[in-house]
Chains A and B, each alone.
Chain A
Amino acid sequence: MQYQAPERDAQFLLFEVFRVQDLWPEIEAFADLSEDLVRAVVAEGGRIATEVVTPSNQPGDEQACTWDDGEVATPDAYKLPFAEITGGGWLGLAGNVNFGGQGMPKMLACIVEEMLWAANTSLYLYGTLTIGSSLCIETHGTKRQQETYLPKMYAGQWTGAMALTESHAGTDLGIMRTKAEPQADGSYRISGTKVFITGGEHDLAENIIHFTWCWLNYPARQVVPRAYRCSSFQNSYLTKTAVWVRATVGPAVP
């Protein structure tokens, strides 16, 4: 399958339709962005998408992910393009500059994202979940959490996974069962089972951060009145070597 990145259209939209050359100087964080740099980012994003990522699309579909006694392997063809995407700093394109991100506009990131999705949807899912969860830490995390997680996530050394859905509940958060119990050291003990977790386990990164929707003070009754609903959004820190986390991972859903 061939893919040509829609560079011309992107340049038209940025500079002729939305006139970012007038808009961005009004936003302090983007005041120094030169037109040449923006054009270069679009061109390089297009090059990575077409030349590096696209060739992994069909082979990845054919080989698919495999599960072998708890070890999840992504397709062989994914290793190189994922390393190029992460090594090139593409996951931190719109990330916070104080933690290793590049601080580029979301508008520009939208263009690159479309290209990477087109080039290989399955592969880019590992990226987009990492970007989304980085934003969550950037917005809601403590300074220590930001320092711990963001540089590694922008660099794709660690990836993110978003764990909400349980087998009996997807849309209805109120009937979720996974719970978090506070521990004396300030951490929480998590119990429960989540399903359909994209990128929940894989071999592309050294660590996976699971953003997990849990109940704090799990209600005695499954369905409780709204006033008693207590929910908390946790990230459980899973490493493959540490013994204090036990997470078992099922085979990929076909």
Chain B
Amino acid sequence: MGIRGSATSVINYDQSTGFLLGEENRGLAAMFTMMNYARLSVGLQGLGSGELAYQQAARYAKDRLQGRSPTGAQNPDAAADSLLVHPDVRRMLLTQRAYNEGGRAFGLFVGMQLDLAKYNGDQSAQDLAELLTPVAKAYLSDKGFEGAVMAQQVFGGHGYIREWGIEQIVRDTRISQIYEGTNGVQALDLVGRKVLRDGGATVRKLVDQMAQTRVAQVHQIEFNEALDRLIRVTASVVGRAKDEPNLPGAVSTDYLELMGLTLYAWLWARMAELAPQDEFGEAKRTTAMFFYQRLLPKTHGLERSIAASAQALMDFPDDLF
């Protein structure tokens, strides 16, 4: 489908010579060293694609004249107004922007934990890195792909043909949701392994760490609500998983998204607080406002769906699939 310049191979070993790396029977530890690095990197792949796609779509939306603004012609001398007058086009562009810039901040936050763990032997940073690695892989790659598809949508028919390059971004980034452990496997790792193994203790520590930072006043109340929601949902999942073996797998993808949105709520409120008084800062503050008004409310729905038992998934008879 994509990454056509990457050589994807079948390897027949045919009695080739190999050398042991690490200790016998400790291969899993060695593999995870590489895997954890690769998982963050694949998240960054999604982010890179999302950014590349956004830049194409924003440029196209500014240039493309089509239709008139609902509030009256903005560019009366031209045949039509630019795509930017249309609220739904702006929704798509701002959604991409909010996820890209939130994602960039998130990627650096995970990178920071890896540095602290590797060079300072900081155990709480190590715990956080382990908790957040599956979120970085899955959430960044999911949002990267969604962003690429949204950029394609902004282009209309021109996004479907090869010349503009958008369809290539869609094809190339799709794999980031699949390889290095599918995003479903990442979500299961997050809930089944990382959250449940310590009863949600690392999540609570993360929430404490986020709560201690100064955020933009205008977002403070909703930010606090988002943190409370994550704590509440985590406690509920930990509590119910004991009696319901199918629960972690049933709620994991929704839980991962809830965690991603909560992290982005923190990072956006931080960025809004620290943004300078110039055009760059203005873009940050208005994007933060968009994130809080239009994207963060998804967490309400996620809390509701996570509250459901695994029953709705498991009741469907196998023979009827």
**Chain A residues near B (Cβ < 8 Å):** 1-4, 6, 8-10, 12-14, 16-18, 23, 26-30, 57-58, 60-61, 63-65, 72, 74-75, 78, 105-107, 109-111, 113-126, 128-129, 131-133, 135-137, 139-141, 145, 161-164, 171, 173, 178, 180, 183, 186-202, 210-214, 216, 230-238, 244-250, 252-254
Q: Which of A111, A128, A197 contacts B108 (CB 8 A)?
A: A111
**Selected contact of A132 from candidates B38, B45, B118, CB within 8 Å:** B38
From B9, B35, B275, give the contact of A201 (CB < 8 A).
B9
Whether the Cβ atoms of B17 and A188 lie closer than 8 Å is yes
* Number of A-B contacts defined by CB within 8 Å: 308
Contacting residue for A237 out of B18, B48, B51, B182, CB 8 A = B18
Indicate if the CB atoms of A114 and B104 lie closer than 8 Å: yes
Query: A117-B47, A139-B33 are known contacts. Are A106 and B17 too (CB-CB below 8 A)?
Result: no
Interface residues of B in 76-130 (CB under 8 A from A): 101, 104-105, 107-112, 114-116, 118-120
Interface footprint category on B: 35 or more
Contact B18 A114 (CB under 8 A): no
Query: In the assembly, what is the distance between CA of A173 and CA of B276, in Å?
Result: 49
Give, as a whole number of angstroms, the nearest-CB distance from A228 to chain B: 11
Q: Is the CB of B16 within 8 A of A247?
A: yes
CB of B133, distance to nearest CB on chain A (Å) = 12
Instruction: Please indicate the chain A residues that have their CB under 8 angstroms from the CB of B29 in the complex.
Output: 140
Asked whether A27 and B120 contact (CB < 8 A) given A1-B56, A65-B6, A233-B27, the answer is yes
A-B contact pairs, 26 of them (CB 8 A): A63-B5, A72-B7, A106-B111, A106-B118, A110-B44, A110-B108, A114-B107, A118-B48, A121-B49, A122-B6, A129-B38, A137-B21, A141-B22, A162-B34, A164-B31, A186-B19, A189-B18, A199-B7, A211-B21, A232-B20, A232-B25, A233-B27, A236-B13, A247-B13, A247-B14, A249-B12
- Which of B10, B24, B111: most chain A Cβ within 10 A? B10
Known contacts: A114-B107, A191-B14. The answer to whether A3 contacts B55 by CB under 8 A is yes
A113, A183, A211: most-surrounded residue (chain B CB, <10 A) = A113
Whether the pair B59, A131 counts as a contact (CB closer than 8 A) is: no
A61 touching B21, Cβ below 8 Å: no
Please state if B52 and A1 are interface contacts (CB–CB under 8 Å): yes
Partner of B3, one of A125, A137, A163, A211: A125
Cross-chain contact B105 with A121 (CB below 8 angstroms): no
Q: A1-B56, A122-B6, A140-B30 are in contact. Are A247 and B20 (CB under 8 A)?
A: no
* Residue from the set B14, B52, B164 with the largest chain A CB neighbour count within 10 Å: B52
Q: Does B41 contact A (CB under 8 A)?
A: yes
Closest 3 CB pairs between A and B? A200-B9, A117-B48, A233-B27
Contact, CB under 8 Å: B16 / A238: yes
The answer, among A190, A201, A232, A253, for a CB contact under 8 Å with B15, is A190
Chain B positions within 8 Å of A183 at CB level: 17
